[in-house]
Amino acid sequence: MDNRINNELEHGKKLLAEGAEAVWNWDSPAGRVRADRRAELLAKFSNIKPGETALEIGCGTGLFSNKFRNLTQAKVVATDLSPELLEVARQKYTGIEFKLEDAMNLSFEDNSFQVVFGSSVLHHLDFQKSLKQIYRVLKPGGKMVFAEPNMINPQIFIQKNIPFIKKWLGDSPDETAIVRWKFKKLLEENGFKNVIIIPYDFLHPVVPSFLISLVNGTGKIIERIPVAREIAGSVIISATK
C-alpha cells in the first residue's frame, strides 16, 4: 500500500479515537462560526444549482457534506479514504451518499460532477494526482472549490514545517499547506481556468465566545488589506474546467 494512503488511514483512526471535530477545531464556539463561514464560501464559489450533483472529497464525519447540501440543495456524493470516519458520517446524516474512495484514484466516470469541493483535504494529498482526478470527473464548465490552510500564516508555517511540532499537534506525516501563487500556477498547468485563490479567516478557534464578534469583524477588515491578508489562516480556492 502507498505510504501516503497508509498514513492517512492511520490518521483517520486516530481522529476517530480523539474526536475528529474537536481535533479539527470545529466544535468550539469560534470553531462553529468558522465552519459556518467556510461552508457559506464553499457554496458561494461553487455556483451550483439545486438538484445538480457535487462530489466532496475528504468528507470526514460529514460536517461540510451536510452544510453544503443544506445551503445549496445540491445532490452531494461525499467520499473519504477512512471507513471509520465514513461510518460516523452515515450515522449522523441522511440524504447524502457516502462512499469509500481514494481521492487520488477516483472510481467515477469522466465528466460526472458539476462541482468538486472539500474542506482541508487537498493539503493531505499528492497535488498532481488529486488535481488530475478532480479535472477528469468534473463536467466541462464545472468548478472545483476548496478551503485549505494557508502556508503563509505564521502558525501554519511552523506547524507544517517543524517535524516535532507537526507530530505534537497531531498532523499526518504527509500533510502540508497551500502557497497560493504556486498553487495557482499548478492549477493552470493542469488545465483549470478562472483560478481564484483568496486568503481569509483571522478567527482562531480558541477565541472565547465574548470576543468572537470583535475578532471576526476585525479579521474581515484585515482581509481587505492587500499585504496584511496574506497571513490569514485559510485560503478559498476556486477554478473552472
Decide: 163 and 137 in contact? Cβ < 8 Å.
no
Residue 154's pLDDT is what? Answer: 93
Would you state the pLDDT for residue 6? 73
Per-residue pLDDT reduced to its tens digit, 185-226: 999 999 999 999 999 999 999 999 999 999 999 999 999 999
Asked if residue 183 belongs to a domain, the reply is yes
Q: Judge whether 76 lies within some domain.
A: no
Q: Which domain holds residue 169?
A: 26-55+103-240
Please choose, from the candidates 77, 73, 66, the residue with its C-alpha nearest in 3D space to the C-alpha of residue 21.
Answer: 66
Domain membership of residue 14 (yes or no) is: no
> Residue 66 falls within a domain, yes or no?
no
Predicted confidence band at 240 (pLDDT cuts at 50, 70, 90)? Answer: very high
Number of separate domains in the chain: 1
Dig out the grid coordinates for 241 from the structure: 474546467
Q: Is the residue at 63 inside a domain?
A: no
Question: Integer distance in angstroms from the first to the last C-alpha of the chain?
Answer: 31
Alpha-carbon 76 to chain mean position: 15
Predicted model pTM? 0.92
**Residue 9 pLDDT > 80, yes or no?**
no
- Torsion over CA: 168, 169, 172, 177 (sign): negative
Assigned domain for 213 exists:
yes
Written as one string, the DSSP assignment of 153-207 is SHHHHHHHHSHHHHHHTT--TT---B-HHHHHHHHHHTT-EEEEEEEE----TT-
> Residue 161 has what pLDDT?
83
pLDDT (tens digit per residue) in 81-123 = 999 999 999 999 999 999 999 999 999 999 999 999 999 999 9
Q: What is the CATH number of the domain that holds 116?
A: 3.40.50.150
Give the residue carrying C-alpha cell 478532480.
Answer: 134
